[in-house]
Amino acid sequence: MTMAGQGRGRRDRDRPGGSAVALDEAYDTALLDLDGVVYYAGGNAVPHAVEALGAARAGGMRLAYVTNNALRTPDVVAAHLTELGVPSEPADVITSAQAVARLIADEVPPGSRILLIGGEGLRVALRERGLVPVESADDDPVAVVQGYGGPELQWARFAEASYAVGRGLPWYASNTDRTIPGARGIAPGNGAAVEVVRMATGAEPRVAGKPLPPMHRETVLRTGARRPLVVGDRLDTDIEGAFNGEVDSLLVLTGVTDVAQLLAAVPEHRPTYVAADLRGLLTAQPGVTEVQGPEAQGMAGAFACGGWTASVGGGVLLLDGAGEDLDPLDGVRALCAAAWTEAGAGACGLDAGKALERLGLA
């Protein structure tokens, strides 16, 4: 266990890290995902999020909100957060629209026309970089950019993108998330729209959003973070993005990822820390230790955390612990160590059903 965690820069994570001090002390900036972390798809705050973020900010941690959704502008997102009780400024919000706009601006002259397939967030981001959004492939664009435009985005817009990409223009995408959560359920995301143009043209876009490096670059440039901690609920965007940026991450279990998926995670999807919710920012993180010597009691690859001991036997993840005050999350941490060590560079396929039942998480 270290002051700032064990995970910084590790490429071969085999167990959750530990921190001797609260995470809001160990890191100067939290790079927070929004959906499933701060608020739910319907717009309501996740339990404990408002209070935890307020305490972290009061303790001196900078809070930055990082989203792949390119539709809403930073002003709109900041206003929503403030309404929820999380005071925020537009400068606190970093979007994939901003990341892709910078990517394009680095490669074309100022004032260039860009065919926009998306919504207001992407339009504002292009203008911020001195680029001129246009609506037609016949408006002499030098590139095409595609971002989530909401359910009202017409099919004709995909055709317009296809015309331009088919002529050989560079094609950029804010992100390729295939789905986006909504109040009524899961809807097609920008990745689904990108797939339409890909099928029509056979081309491949340059992508900026999480988990790819342009998004991490954008967040660091805009926040000036020196010791950033990525906080998210998705393994394939938030946690993989932290892995690609070689920074530490905290997975909160308030969103799309459940414990079974966490146990099966491949190395690039393994977070440094895991917490039930954003209150994890305010606490130290217990380390996971390998059980050796007589205490192992014949168990190979046994790992302990907070009174729980996890191991592998007969193709099954096993969990042992006694006492009424044991924290189920410590059991999850021990199970992660056993599963990830067993899986190595792959995904763990061991049966964890009984172990999760014991923790009340099945």
Mean pLDDT of 283-290: 95
Cα distance between residue 12 and residue 270, in whole Å: 9
Indicate if the pLDDT at residue 114 is higher than 90. Answer: yes
Question: Catalytic residue among 14, 24, 35, 233, which?
Answer: 35
Kindly report whether the global pTM for this prediction surpasses the value 0.85: yes
Q: How many CB atoms lie within 10 A of CB 105?
A: 18
pLDDT at 1: 44
Mean pLDDT (the chain) is: 92
Confirm if 39 and 86 have CB atoms less than 8 A apart. Answer: no
* DSSP string over 150-182: -TT--HHHHHHHHHHHHTT--EEES---SEEEE
Lowest mean pLDDT of 139-153, 186-200, 292-306, 321-335, name the range. Answer: 292-306
Percent of the chain surpassing pLDDT 90: 83
Question: Catalytic residue among 14, 24, 33, 233, which?
Answer: 33
Tens-digit pLDDT profile for residues 135-175: 999 999 999 999 999 888 899 999 999 999 999 999 999 99
Pick from 238, 184, 178: nearest CA to 212: 238
Phi, psi of 180, rounded to the nearest 5 degrees? -140, 130
Cα distance between residue 240 and residue 219, in whole Å: 15
Is 277 assigned a catalytic role? no
Indicate if the pLDDT at residue 282 is higher than 60. Answer: yes
Report the DSSP beta bridge partners of residue 116.
Answer: 145
Indicate if the pLDDT at residue 350 is higher than 60. Answer: yes
Confirm if 281 and 254 have CB atoms less than 8 A apart. Answer: no
Mean pLDDT of 318-347: 91
- What tokens does 54 get? 């307020």
Indicate if the pLDDT at residue 6 is higher than 70. Answer: no
Which residue carries 């999480």 as its tokens?
210
Confirm if 47 and 96 have CB atoms less than 8 A apart. Answer: no
pLDDT at 42: 79
pLDDT at 185: 84
Q: Are strands 316-321 and 308-313 parallel, antiparallel or unpaired?
A: antiparallel
Is 35 assigned a catalytic role? yes
CA distances from 11 to 7, 240, 270, 334 (A): 9, 11, 10, 20
